[in-house]
Chain A
Amino acid sequence: MNTIKKYAGLLWIILGPLAIHYLLQTAKSEMAKKPGIDTQIQWGVFITVFYPIAIGFILFGLYALEGNYDHLPEDSSQLDDYEAKPL
């Protein structure tokens, strides 16, 4: 399972930029098709919101590829004992 987790990470890393590209292309074509402030606001909101999420998705893929999800905390006591290490 850990191997699948790691290699799937590659897929998420690729999907992130693809999603951004698709979003930008659709926004561009829709704004050209229906010029106007409404369309600009609408797509502006979509890009502003989904762009950082796509970056987060790439980061998620990177963590998966590095094996950070190979072992997750088993119970609540592990969580409360947790000492976070800086990035």
Chain B
Amino acid sequence: MSNEISTKGIWKVIGASSLGTLIEWYDFYIFGSLAVVIANQFFPKTNPTAALLSTLATFAAGFIVRPFGALVFGRLGDLIGRKYTFLLTLVLMGLSTFLIGCIPNYDSIGFLAPILVLILRLIQGLALGGEYGGAATYVAEHAPANRRGYFTSWIQTTATLGLFISLGVILLTRHLLDADQAKSIAKFNDWGWRIPFLISIVLVIVSIYIRLKMKESPMYAKLKSEGKTSINPLKESFGHKANLKMVLLALFGATMGQGVVWYTGQFYAQSFIENVCKVDFDQSRTILIWAILFATPFFVVFASLSDKIGRKWIMIAGMLLAVLSYNFLFTQLYNIADVKDRIEITAMKEIKTTTAVIKNSNDTLRKVAVKTFYEDGMSMTQTKIDTAYSTSGKTTLKPTVTISKTINSSDYWKMVAIVFILILYVTMVYGPIAAFLVELFPTKIRYTSMSLPYHIGNGVFGGLTPFIATLLTTIYTDNKIVGLMYPIIIATLCMIIGAIYISNKVNKEVNA
């Protein structure tokens, strides 16, 4: 691989690859972002927690199958070429996303509904497992060696931009279905949630059209013309010590830590703001949207910098900063939304009680919403739902209580700044990783070899971060930030391994 590869036409390659990858991430994220709505639609409603956990498990399943997708499509990509393989992953992803939007809910077709959702979610995971490695490899193999970080960084932005677009589409759909906002949200929860899934098919068709026009990667085409492609990529990748040791190093010294930093910064942060700080649905999402918007250019900045000073220390620095500051930053998020030291305006307190008769019974569902206003502009709505039984002496044992806070403008932007810092760490660890992984493996088995550690690091270690962190908060209930123990331990271990074992390669012709 030399630096002499021409950059002519590279933007076309980057554009076509990035658009498809962006759509794949969008498809993948809308499911996670709509976890609660999907739980109500597809899982038995008798126990809301069980329904939510089921969806989260499905979400996790989507991540767990990613390594298998990496093996299946990575092998295919090394055998038949990059172009057709990541075209196939795009079709699979687009179709399964579209079909999720078409499945009748649990009330209509019973248990078939969650089963179909699970199957389609697994296909999404498989497709994503094959997509990223293909796109990163394809772009890297078109780029000159001395600017590989810079050119692959555009692929790196797609994961975050996919989240950005999914959040944007969800928020817009949620508010545009009716002039009355309450009715619009009700419609969204009823059927409008399907729209983000259905529109994916249009995006995918456009992307497939663009990708069909692309040519095979020059490096792979050269190998193929010389008859030097791998006959058994899986065996060569994982059955030979020389390559397996690099796969293990990539996983334990880079992608494992990168995965937890990524998912803590973008997903756990949003979940923490919404579920622990109790900031309302829209604000918790727009905070993330702003932070992503400000931080995304840094993917290109750090990846480009990695062409000059090497990938290793930028990634290690990102992990180190994350490990050192997570506790402080998440404590600040919690304190910003805490009502403990705020002064309540008692004259403005609103209490609204509504009742509705439960179908086929004499009992009524009672909803008491108490809205409290504070002097600094924050408001908090506490909603208690219980059943008023017609039988005397019978009471609801545990009413459902939800809290939703609307924070003031100053606190809002403080939260945006903190989440921006968290995503900045993501750009440090994730920006250079595509170039790093590509450079670790030989062309003939690159797709297979780099996909597996990437998807174990991101899918398993990273993807399970919100799940494990939430689980920890249910085990150690008195500590609100105990969930951070998991990403901190994993990132620390990865940082130490990376610092000891990874070499900091710098291309001598980097400034040429």
Contact = CB atoms under 8 A, between A and B. Distances in A.
A30 B241 contact: no
A32 interface: no
A87 B54 contact: no
Contacts of B502: 72
Nearest to A15: B493
Contacts of A82: 242-243, 442
Contacts of B249: 60, 69, 72
Interface string B227-261: 00000000010011111111011011000000000
B244 A8 contact: no
Contact of A69 (B245, B443, B464): B245
B243 A84 contact: yes
A30 B475 contact: yes
Contact of A59 (B53, B60, B248): B248
B454 to A, nearest CB: 14
A50 B489 CA distance: 15
B1 A76 contact: yes
A68 B245 contact: yes
B64 A49 contact: yes
A31 B187 CA distance: 39
B460 interface: yes
A42 B57 contact: yes
Interface string B483-512: 000000000000011001111010100000
Contact of B236 (A8, A50, A84): A84
B50 interface: yes
Interface in A7-49: 8, 12, 30, 38, 41-42, 45-46, 49
A37 B13 CA distance: 47
B248 A56 contact: yes
Mostly, the B contact residues are helix
Contacts of A45: 57, 60-61, 64
A45 B456 CA distance: 14
A63 B500 CA distance: 14
Contact of B240 (A4, A42, A56, A85): A85
Given A4-B500, A60-B249, A63-B245, A86 B53 contact: no
Contact of B252 (A57, A77, A85, A86): A57
A38 B54 contact: yes
B397 to A, nearest CB: 18
A33 to B, nearest CB: 9
Contacts of B251: 56
Nearest to B471: A42
B441 interface: yes
Nearest to B438: A76
A38 B501 CA distance: 40
Sorting the interface of chain B by its residue count into under 10, 10 to 19, 20 to 34 or 35 or more gives 35 or more
A43 B89 CA distance: 30
Mostly, the A contact residues are helix
Interface in B460-486: 460, 464, 471, 475
A55 B60 CA distance: 21
A84 B64 CA distance: 29
Contacts of A53: 456, 460
Contacts of A86: 239-241
A60 B252 CA distance: 8
B439 interface: yes
Contacts of B500: 1, 4-5, 8
Contacts of A64: 501
B170 interface: no
Contacts of A80: 1, 442-444
Interface string A58-71: 01100110001100
A42 B53 contact: yes
Interface string B52-70: 0110010011001000000
A67 to B, nearest CB: 11
Contacts of A56: 248, 251-252
Contacts of B53: 38, 42
Given A45-B64, A69-B501, A76-B1, A84 B248 contact: no
Given A38-B54, A49-B64, A63-B248, A84 B501 contact: no
B145 interface: yes
Contacts of B442: 79-80, 82
A77 B158 CA distance: 29
A3 to B, nearest CB: 11
B50 A87 contact: no
A50 B467 CA distance: 14
A80 B442 CA distance: 5
Interface of A: 1, 4-5, 8, 12, 30, 38, 41-42, 45-46, 49-50, 53, 56-57, 59-60, 63-64, 68-69, 72, 74-77, 79-80, 82, 84-87
Given A60-B249, A68-B245, A72-B501, 9 more contacts: A4-B500, A5-B501, A57-B252, A64-B501, A72-B246, A72-B503, A80-B442, A86-B240, A87-B241
Interface of B: 1, 50, 53-54, 57, 60-61, 64, 145, 236, 239-246, 248-249, 251-252, 439-444, 456, 460, 464, 471, 475, 496-497, 500-503, 505, 507
7 contacts: A38-B53, A42-B57, A45-B61, A56-B251, A68-B245, A80-B444, A84-B240
